[in-house]
Structure 1
Amino acid sequence: MFGGQERGDPVAAHAVALGPYTYLPAPVHSSATVNGTLTRGGFPVALKVTEPLLRDFLDAMSTLEADLARRWLGSVGRSRFPGAE
Structure 2
Amino acid sequence: MINKPYLVRVSDNEIVNLENVRKIKREGEQLFIYMSGEPKYSPPAIVLEGDEAKAMWIYFSSAMMSFQPLKITNPGRETLDKIPNSNDEQH
Would you say same fold, with TM above 0.5? Answer: no
Report which of the two has the higher share of strand: 2
- Between Structure 1 and Structure 2, whose CA radius of gyration is higher? 1
Report which of the two has the higher share of helix: 1
Task: State TM-score, norm by structure 1.
Answer: 0.32
